[in-house]
Each structure stands twice: as C-alpha cells, then as structure tokens.
Structure 1
Amino acid sequence: MRKEGKASISKYGSSEENEDSNKINSALHDHSPTYEHVRNKKATVKSENNEQTSGRRLCASKDYDMYKDLLDSVLDETTEDGSHEEAKQLSEHKEGLPLKFRFEDETTTAVEQSEFELMVESLFDEMELCLTYGDMEFYGYQEVAKNTRNSADEEANQYARCCKGKHEVMEDDEIGLICKYCFHMELEAKHMMPPWAEKTYRGGDRRFFGADQSSVLDCLDMETGQNFAGSCNLRKGTIWDIKPGIRETMYEHQREGLEFLWKNLAGTTDLAQVKTAESRNIEGCIISHAPGTGKTRLTMVFIETYLNLFPDSRPLIIAPASMLLTWEEEFRKWDVKFPFHNLSSSEISGKENKMVLKRLPEGRCLDKKAVRTVKIYSWNKEQSILGMSYTLFESLAGKKSQNESLARILLEKPGLVVLDEGHIPRSRTSNIWNTLLKLKTKKRIILSGTPFQNNFKELFNILRIVRPAIAGVLAKERKFAEMFTCRGRSTRKRYRDVEDSRFSASVMETAIEGLKAAMAPFVHVHKGAILQQNLPGLRDCVVLLRPPELQKSLIQRIEGSKNSLKFDHKVALVSVHPYLFNDCHPTKQERSGVDQAALEACRLNPFEGIKTSFVMELVRLSALRDERVLIFSQYLGPLDLIQNHLKGVFGWAEGKQILKMEGKMGQKDRQNLINAFNDPRSEAKVLLASTKCCSEGINLVGASRVVLLDVVWNPSVERQAICRAYRLGQKKIVYTYHLMTSGTTEGDKYCRQAEKERLSELVFTSSSNEQCKYKNVDTCIEDGVLEDMVANVKLKDMFEKIIYQPKEKNLIETFSIAS
C-alpha cells in the first residue's frame, strides 16, 4: 500500500511534492514517537496545497458583505437554549467531532478534489490506520510527557489540569486547535474551514470573495475568546475581594449602592453563594442618587467586578448621546481593564478585536455600518462593554429597524443593561419605551437622580421597564396617586383645590407608604448629603424682576391670548427681551399694532429686556471675581440674543470668552467645549447651554454661577441643570438664579414645580446611611454679587422680590403677595 502511494506521487506530483510525501511516508514507516513532527508536516503539505487551490478558486467580488457575515456570526454563537455554541463545540471535539459550520438551510456545493488531493488524503488515512494498529495512545502520551520542572507554579497547576482534561485551547493555523501547555490537539487542521470554501448563507446570494476581502474573515470564527475563560477564580470572600482596594476609593453611599446592586442582580455579595443565588429569578433595580454624586463611578465598579465573575455577560450601556464621551473618559480615567466600545462614535478606537483590526482594508475610511459591525463583533467576542445613545438604540432595535440581525443582537445578546438617565423613556407613546420593553435580559439598572418627573403615571412606566412584574402591583396604587396629579395648566385655584382635597391626610399617607414599601427592595436612594459634606456650598434663590414699559406692554398683549397652543413659548421669549416678540410672532398679522421700529432699535440693547439686563450685570461682576457663568434656556433664540449682547457690551469673541452648547453639536466638539470651560487656564467666561440637551449627565464644574432664564413644568429639569455645576469636583460655592418676570404665569409654573418636588420627596426617601436631610441651599452663605446689584442705584428698581429657600416655603402665598 505504501509503494502504491509513492508511485502515485511520482506519477501525478512535482519533484517538490514527491520530496514532502516521501518524508511523510518515511515517518509513517518509522512509527516515531515524535508524532508532532509528522503532524506538522501533514499540516504544512495541506496548507501549501490549500494555497495553490485557493489561488485558482478565488475570484474577486465587490458585492460580498463581510460585515453582514460578522453580525451573523454573533447570532450563530447562541443556540436555542441560550448556551454558547463555542462551549458546545469544545465538548464535541473531545469525541473527535469536527467544528460545525452549518448555516441553517444552506446547501453546499461539493468541491471536486484533484487526484493529488485524493492521494494526500489516502496518506492521511493510512497514517491514522497505522497509529491505531500501533496502539501508541498519543493523546495520553502528550498530556503526561510535558516537562514542568522549569515552569512557574501557575504553569505546573495548568499541566495538572491538563491531565484531567481541562485544557487551555489556542489556534494554530498549521496544526489546528491545540492546548498551549501540553499540546493536546482538540481539532486537526484538516477539519477547519478553508478560506476558499463556498457558503450559501441563509438563502442569500453568496459568492466567492476575492483575495482583498477573504483575509477579513479568515479564522475569525475560530477564535477561542480566551478572555471569556473565567477571569475570576475567587470562590471565597465577598465581592470586595474581586478588586482589592476598590472599597477605599468609594464614598459610603457608593459602597452601599454597590452591595445593593449585587444583591439585586446576583442575589448576594458572598462569592461562595453567587452561582446558586444567580440562578434565581433576578430582575432589575434603580439607583436614585442625587445628580452629581457619582452614579457613573459606582456603575463602572459594578460592571467591572460583575464581568470578572460573569465573563460572558456582555454589558450594554444606553445613555443620552451627550454623555457617551463622558462614560468613555471615565472608563479611561479609572483604568477599567475591559474595553468600552462607543457605538455612537463613527471612529475605530483601536480597542476592538485584534483579529478583525488586522483584516480591515488599509487606507480606506469605513462607513458607520462597518464601524458598528466591528464594535458589536468585538463586544460579542471578548469581555468588553458596549455603549450607545437612546436614539441609536431605538433606530437599530426598534420597529423601524432596517437590519433584523442587528436588532436581534441588541435585544437578545446583552446579559446586563444599564439605562443612564433612565427617566428619559417614560412615555408609553414613545418608540424608545416600547423598544426597551422588548429586551430579553431581566438584569437592568436604571440610573436617575430624578426618577419622579411629572406625575405618577410616568413613574409607573419607568418601573415597568426595570421591573415589569412589580409594575402591575404598583398600578393598584394609582387611585391614590390621582389626588396628587393636577391636569392642565396649573393655577392658584387648582393648588387650593389640592389642599382642600376630599381625600384625608391619612389616606394620602397610606398611599405614599404603600408605594414606598413596594419599591424599597429595588430602589436605592441617596438625596445628596455627600454634596453638603464635601462641597463648599449652594445658594439658591428666585429673582422676581419688573419689566420695562415696552416689554411690559408686549407681555400684557400675550396674556390676552392664553388659549394659544404656543402661549408658554411666547411668555418665555418675551419675558427675556422684547425683541424676541418677533421670534414667536412670525406673521405680519400677529405683529400688527406693535411698533416694529422700536423693536428693531432695541435689538442690541440688553437693558431694554429685564432678564438680559440682569444677565449682563451678573456676568460683569462675576468676571471681576474670576467666576464663570452658566446660562440655561429651553430655547435657542434667547441664547443667540445674549451672545450678541455679550459681544457688543464686552467685546468678547465666540469660542474664546463665550462658549455655546446646543443639540446639533457633535459629541467630540461638545466634549472639547466642556473641557475648555472647566479648564481654569482657558479664557472662557460664559457658557450658553440648551436646557433640553445639556442639563443631564455632563460635568460643568468650571461654573460657579448658574442662571435659569425660563421656567419649565418639570422640576427635575431645573435640578439637573443646577447639578451640572453643583457636583463632586466643584471647588467653589455655587449660586443659582431662577429668573422670573412679574406679570407673567412663570410664578404659577414654579408653584407647580414645588408641588411635584414635594411628591417626589414623599415617595423617594433616603437610604439608611444618610442621616441628615438633603437641603437645596445653605442659608448661611451670602451672595456678594447679588447684594452689589441690589445696592446699585441704577439697578435696584428692577428687583421686585428675591426669595431664598423657595421650595420650602408656601410659594402660592408668596407669589400672590408679589403679584
């Protein structure tokens, strides 16, 4: 039989092929115990032959979508019962079975083998037959023959595990899948998918791909994902032992919050019991810590420790787009060992899967689809964290998604989901809320300093995202919640009706206590005492201002049309400056009876508007004290006008002394602007910011004065805006100014805020470690700038009333007297 093999080589093969084949046959005759040499030669001949064959069979195809193949490989790794295909394959390898490359209903086309290939295959068969007859017991020999006398202790332990069949497998292109320590072979190279294989995938139109693209996918599915192989070997102690020393770097409320997260999402903090406790029916929880108290850091520590114990959990962080770069910087700042992939970024960070990065086309800019595919594949293949915005998540996983595979990955693959500023998806009619309900994982964390937004209905919607099962129980309390909810535009009469409600105090107390008791097991609250203990202080006040005659007449004109759907918008603009009347009255008919010449003449004069007049003087006095001012507004019109006033009055330039942040700004530009404003060496004096897109999550500790130009219905919006500056890391006392124009409905809106905040305080009580009550202000702090403005003879007539500690007083009575 061996002579016939040599003859066939001489007849069909070249001289080089004859030489290699003779060496293989010689090894077979000798039955050498160094079988590894024979195996290497076998793989080398096979590899060379594959290269020759692939060179003939490859044909370039620009239509091949390698990124779709990456996404499909992510889905194919999970079986119907949720187990990972890789684990299943490794168990099959021990029985000698090949890796399974089956793509649903594919029909493979048999590749006709050449006579030379048939000859080489027959030699392999003969070699295996000889080994069987010789009873060499090769596998056992390799496992015990490894000399470990010069190895480190951990390597010796690994060899002991190898003898028990617990190998650490790696891929060798010439040999196959082998153990990196004892060279036990799990799978021979001949059973691995060659690069020239034809695949018809999911019934799609798949063709051969060219040499320029074939390298992208070669061996990607063969990666063993070694980072997943049990990162944490601890079996005793608590979760604090996973990362020694981390406890000392956290505040007390963060430590309590970390243990709370582990108890809710893993069942316990005891490592010996985690595996059994984790198998129970676990659901999500809420971290309701005051804005600026370190929720991001707390969550990062939890994710890092959780990934060490559950390496295949694949965490997903969904956050407002403006906060993703903040997350990215925080992961870098605290040196988290697991990569963070920002899916909303269109750039490759370099932390993606190395095998994919090597095979990306050089010198070509990748589109968003390609970048996202690479990041998702990397997140699936290795221990890492995926981050994306709410808008992007809804677009890719919602009902309007154009990629079914990608939608399935985002909804099914994550083992842990974090919703930063989790109060954002609170409306039943929003697409993002309905998309989040489709998430398969029950392990969800909502981070929100202000979970109670407008009413109890929205609160129940938030609870349904994090704990669907409990939401139905809490819904029974709605009949009590209705007494706290005033529908329509708030008026003083409605508030009096609430006070004179037919519900008794005992009934209200019972309803509130029922809600608190139901939410206590999965809601951890910290009201912000840590800020009072570690920051210089906060001074909060409402400033009621008297408008000039032109502005007052325009306000009265608007007040006569309260039935307008845009009434609040008009009041907000005109109460800032009279010129903004034209912005909310675009037609000539609406402007009839108004002196347009007078409006045009006052456009660049800030002192014709009561709020712009206040802002100019505040900025001037703050600049003299080397303090920076942060100005918030719901609308861009007032911000644009104030920017022009600052240029005209002080001669400042946009981008230097004046910075402006709005929704259309890119994430990188936004982060650069934040860094510039917080840098004490920069020239920045004022930051103009949109309340809608810049009042949550970002760090603006460079400001010590915060101005709120207009009043919003939702109290949490204003609180979030203030906490951009009043947060951990602030070095100065923070002064805030809620500006209101007398003669408008702004006072009524602020009263509504106070009522909503009172309900929030009743429902969300602080955790056990927080003994002192959270307060909005420090009454001992004096505001020198405001005092100087009031003492100024030219300015003192503009002030009608200044109210400190506003939300702890009877605001209805206060504004009644003021008006």
Structure 2
Amino acid sequence: MKPHQVEGFNFLVRNLAGDHPGGCILAHAPGSGKTFMIISFMQSFLGKYPNARPLVVLPKGILSTWKKEFQTWQVEDIPLYDLYTVKADSRPQQLEVLKQWMDNKSILFLGYKQFSSIVIDNSNNNASIACRDILLKVPSILILDEGHTPRNENTDMVQSLAKVLTPRKVVLSGTLYQNHVREVFNVLNLVRPKFLKMETSKPIVRRIQSRIHISGVKRFDELVENTLQKDPDFKRKVAVIHDLREMTSKVLHYYKGDFLDELPGLVDFTVVLKLTPRQKHEVEKVRKILRKFKMSAVGSAVYLHPKLKPLADKCVEKSVLQKQKCVEKSISDNIMDDFIANLDVRDGVKSKFFRNMLNLCESAGEKLLVFSQYLLPLKYLERLAVKWKGWGVGKEIFVISGDSTAEQREFSMDKFNNTPEAKIFFGSIKACGEGISLVGASRVIILDVHLNPSVTRQAIGRAFRPGQKRKVFVYRLVAGDSPEEEDHNTCFKKELISKM
C-alpha cells in the first residue's frame, strides 16, 4: 500500500471497527486506488467479523471491474454475489441469491437502481417483503462506490439507502463536490444522520454562522455556498474552509492525488475555438432555444459542424417523445455516411480540430480518447474516422455508450489498451467516466462542456491514472462567443470550489 492508502485504511478501522462504529467518506482522487484499499479492508473486516455481510452498492457498469479487482487482490476466496450474472430478474429469483449471501461468508453487489427498486417495492407478496427486509436489516457494512451518485435527498435512491440499519456506511468518491455544497451535506447526512446537529458539529456551525451575514439566506449550506462562490473577502473564504475541514475531519478522509505526480505528467488545455461564419449563423438560432437540455444538445452538434443542426433537432425531439436520451441507434451508420459524403469539414471548427488531432496521433503513434455528453457528435466523428482512415469499429475504433453491455465494455477496454492496431476510443462521458481504465490513450478530447465539472475530471482520470506510461494531453474544447462559453465560465467557478 502507498502512504495515503495506509492512512485511509486506518481511517476506515477507526470509524468502522471500534465499539461505536459510524459512517465515513473516502474522498480520494480518481485513480488513487480506493477500490484496492476497500477490498483490503473488507477482507480484514471479514477476518475479524466472519459473520458480517458486506453490501456494495455501485453503478451497474463498473461491477465487472470490481469483481476483476477482487480476483486480483483477494487473499481468501470469498464468494461474490450479484443479481445480474445469474439473471435474477424476478423477486423470487432475487430472494434465492440474497439467501445465499446471508448463509455464506460472502459479499453482495447491487446497482443503485436495483437496490432502490427492491427497497421501494411496496408489493405485499412474501418474496418482495423478504428481499426488502434482507437488504435493510442484514448488511453489516454498506459500501457506496461513486458515492456522490446518491446526493439529492428527495430521491428514492437516497431515502432507500438511508433506511439500511447498519451505522457502518462508507462512501467512496473521487469527486465528492459535484454541483452544490448542499449535495455534500446530503452525503454527510447519509453516512452520519443529522450531521450538522451532532454535538461535534454544532459549535463549528455556530462559528461559521457568526462569520457570514447574507440578507435573506438562512440555510447553512446556502450560506457556505454563497461565501465560497461570491464573497470578495478571501480571508473569510479561507476561514470558512478551515472550519469545514475541522468539522468533517473525523468522518471525511480527503486525498487530492499527490501520488499521481509520479506519472509522466498531465497537460490540461482549455481551447476556445473561433466559430466559422456558418456556425455563427446557426448559433444565433441555438441561443433562442428555451430548454437548457435542448440548447446544450443541439449546440454540441452545431459547434462540431453547422449542418448537424437538423439531425440534432430530430434526435432531441425523439428523445423527449420517448422520454429517453438520444440513442445512437436513431442515427444509423448509413444515414451518417450519406450525410458526411459531401460535407466540407472546414465549416466546423471542432471538426477541423478533431481531424488535426487524429493526424497528429497517427503520426506520433499515440492513441486518442474522445468524450462527449451526447451520442450524435460521437457517431459523426466515428464515421468521419472511418471515411478518412478506412478504419473499422472493433479493430482501430472502439465505442462505449450507456447501452454497452459489461462484456462490450470489457472487450473495448482490453483491445484499446493492449492492441497496437487500436487508434481511437469514443466514449459517452457518463458511461465511461467511472470505474474504467483507458491508459492506452495519451491524448484526450473533451468535446463539450458538462455543467458538472466533476464528470469531466472523472473522464480525464480514465487516461491519467496508474498504468499510464506517457504524458497525457487533454483538450477541453469550448466554442467561443456561444452559450457553451458561458457554461464554461460557470463550471470554472464550480471547479474552484471543489479545489478548495
């Protein structure tokens, strides 16, 4: 173990293995080895408490990564149960798996949605009631990976997790601060109920309140957020940050990732690109879109190439009608190939940047990783790469979206990282942003601005992490003089708070 992992391990022991256990948060930078640390701790915990039953709740897409890590690091052959591998879809089938977990020294893995769907199921049949009771009463320790996921106190997910009886709740997160200070306190309340009202917190809450006076603002989290974002008094900001660190020191272990300095290096560029005249014309139409989601989705396409706007409009409208995200299948390869057949790429500033980067990577023998929030831009660039280079998907080109199965994810990661033929990886930033390693890439393009900057940090952490042998260059593309530039400025302020 590295020094920060030893520190984190001892922190877990203090909180979880004593006579008066309580929940805690490991906020370690992406790629700093949280999974390895918690696997080591769980094996030690089961060694001391063989009748304990750990439950790990995590984004479903990273289950295979966890299992692979367990197989690599476990000392004892501990059975790992989940509902997906055995296709336990009905409550009676799920109950059988849960009973196996109860009866054996083992660990259970569940996705966040799967967990909350079982707990909020109000059916009166015996199997549903038994499943719900087991999940709420049996876990001896509850581990929440990517624990910033349950951060909105009004969701079924958070309310379901809060009902689990064990006081041993552990949140693992590389990006604890997401959008608002309130969300951080929601996570603190999940691991330590009524955190701000605890005897250790009260005097510090009063101290912070005595420093801040904002007319009309009464909520504690809003006072803190206003101070960190808008207060011109730098000394007061620093004092509040010190107070917050003191208040959370016993329940939150923070590590910013100094050991990543041992890697060859990270060069992180924000590239503000001047739109072409045709793009400027289309951007004026984008500005008039009232719905933020549509403005962002259509804008993302227009900043790549102005002629993508009709396709983006159609894709967004279809997704609204079907109440789902714009799916890749809605734009087939044939439709996109016909679309780009006679396209002048020079009309799109981000398209030109992509072509130049593709050529640079090919000549330098480097691999390229491209992230976007939306699938239409990724499909467009994928087909451009096929047209320009004659490359094929599954050989030189790899793609992961939210629809990719665990097997497809594993195949794409392995081939991209380990085969010399692989050239470029296209990833949905949400589907690829957590729990996977793409260290084969040394150049990363972030195509659009995500309003939650921690999502972008997680994405960069897929390439800039242990195992990386090259210096990583990141290019965050921003369309100049557009709504995207305004979003970038908002995110910059959020980024500052997370670094505090």
TM-score for the superposition, normalised by structure 2: 0.86
Deviation of 1:682 after TM superposition, in Å, equals: 4.9
The one-letter code matched in structure 2 to 1:265 is: L
What one-letter code is carried by the residue in structure 2 that aligns with 1:457?
R
Q: What CA deviation, in whole Å up to 9, does each residue of 1:541-592 have, x standing for no partner? A: 01111222222211122224457663223222211222321134339x9xxx
User: Contact 1:417/1:441 (CA < 8 Å) preserved in 2?
Assistant: yes
Instruction: Give 2:392's match in structure 1, choosing from 653, 656, 659.
Output: 653
State how far apart, in whole Å, the 2-side matches of 1:408 and 1:731 are.
48
Amino acid in the other structure paired with 1:378? Q
Instruction: Name the structure 1 match of 2:308.
Output: 580
Q: Indicate the residue corresponding to 2:481 in structure 1.
A: 743
Contact 1:545 1:739 in 2 (8 A): yes
Query: What does 1:330-349 align with in structure 2 at a 5 Å threshold?
Result: 330-347=69-86
CA–CA distance in structure 2, aligned partners of residues 469 and 637 of structure 1 = 43
Q: Structure 2 CA distance, aligned partners of 1:584 and 1:471?
A: 45
CA separation of 1:326/1:565 partners in 2, compared to 1, >3 Å: closer, same or farther? Answer: closer
Question: Alignment partner for residue 538 of structure 1, among 266, 269, 274?
Answer: 266
Corresponding position of 2:436: 698
Q: Is the 8 A contact 1:579 1:600 kept in 2?
A: no
CA distance in 1, matches of 2:288, 2:135: 51
* 1:390 pairs with 2:130: no
What 5-or-longer segments of structure 1 have no aligned partner?
1-249, 268-277, 349-365, 487-494, 590-598, 763-819
Residue 505 of structure 1 deviates from its aligned partner by 4.3
Matched, 1:256 2:7: yes
Q: Which has the higher contact order (CA 8 A, sep 6+)?
A: 2
Distance 2:401 2:340 in 1: 28
CA distance in structure 2 between the partners assigned to 1:734 and 1:506 by the alignment: 35
Distance in 1 between the 2:288 and 2:342 partners?
24
Give the residue type in structure 1 aligned to 2:270.
Answer: V
Task: Give distance in 2, aligned partners of 1:309 and 1:626.
Answer: 50
Q: RMSD of the alignment, in Å?
A: 2.6
Inter-partner Cα distance in structure 1 for 2:368 and 2:442: 6
Task: Quote the sequence identity (%).
Answer: 34
* Aligned mates of 2:181, 2:499 — CA distance in 1: 13
Equivalent in 440, 443, 453 of residue 165 of structure 2? 440
Tell me which structure has the larger Cα radius of gyration. 1
Matched-pair contact (CA < 8 Å) for 1:293–1:531: yes
Matching of residues 682-721 of structure 1 within 5 Å: 682-721=420-459
Does the C-alpha gap of structure 1 residues 372 and 544 become closer, same or farther in structure 2, counting only changes over 3 Å? same
Question: Is structure 2 residue 367 aligned with structure 1 residue 632?
Answer: no
* Matched residue, 1:283: 22
Partner of 2:222: 482
Match of 2:295 among 544, 547, 567: 567
Change (3 A) 1:608 1:370: farther
Alpha-carbon deviation of 1:469? 3.6
Letter in 2 for 1:420: D
Shift, 1:304, TM fit: 0.3
| Equivalence for 1:329 | 68
Query: Number of matched residues?
Result: 461
Selected match of 2:246 from 517, 527, 538? 517
**What amino acid sits opposite 1:376 in the alignment?**
L
Give the 3 Å change call, closer, same or farther, for CA 725–653 of structure 1 in structure 2. Answer: same
Q: Given residue 100 of structure 2, which amino acid in structure 1 is its aligned partner?
A: S
Unaligned 5+ residue runs, structure 2? 209-217, 318-337
Residues 324 and 342 of structure 1 are in contact (CA less than 8 Å); yes or no, is this contact kept in structure 2?
Answer: no
> What CA distance in whole angstroms lies between the structure 2 residues aligned with 1:718 and 1:451?
13
AA aligned opposite 2:267:
R
Q: Is the 8 A contact 1:321 1:344 kept in 2?
A: no
Distance (Å, rounded) in 2 between the aligned partners of 1:368 and 1:647: 42
For residues 547 and 685 of structure 1, what CA distance do their matches in structure 2 show?
A: 28
Equivalent AA in structure 2 for residue 518 of structure 1: M
Q: Offset of 1:506 from its aligned partner?
A: 4.7
Aligned-partner Cα distance in 1 for 2:407–2:486: 39
CA-to-aligned-CA distance 1:189-248 (integer Å, 9 cap, x gap): xxxxxxxxxxxxxxxxxxxxxxxxxxxxxxxxxxxxxxxxxxxxxxxxxxxxxxxxxxxx
Q: Is the 8 A contact 1:677 1:702 kept in 2?
A: yes
Asked if the contact 2:81–2:101 (Cα under 8 Å) also holds between the matched residues in 1, the reply is no
**2:380 aligned residue:** 641
Distance 1:756 1:702, change over 3 A: same
Give the conservation status (yes or no) of the 8 Å contact 1:315–1:384: yes
- What is the 5 A alignment of 1:182-581? 250-267=1-18, 278=19, 280=20, 282-347=21-86, 372-399=94-121, 403-473=128-198, 476=205, 479=219, 481-483=221-223, 485=225, 498=230, 500=232, 504-533=233-262, 535-561=263-289, 566-581=294-309
Cα gap change, 1:603/1:256 in structure 2, threshold over 3 Å: closer, same or farther? farther
What does the per-residue CA deviation read over 1:372-417, in whole Å, with 9 as the maximum and x for residues that have no partner? 4443222211211111111111122224567111011111100011
For 2:169 and 2:387, the matched residues in 1 are separated by 51
CA-CA distance at 1:611 after TM superposition: 0.9
Q: 1:785: which partner in 2?
A: none
Q: Which amino acid aligns with 1:288?
A: A
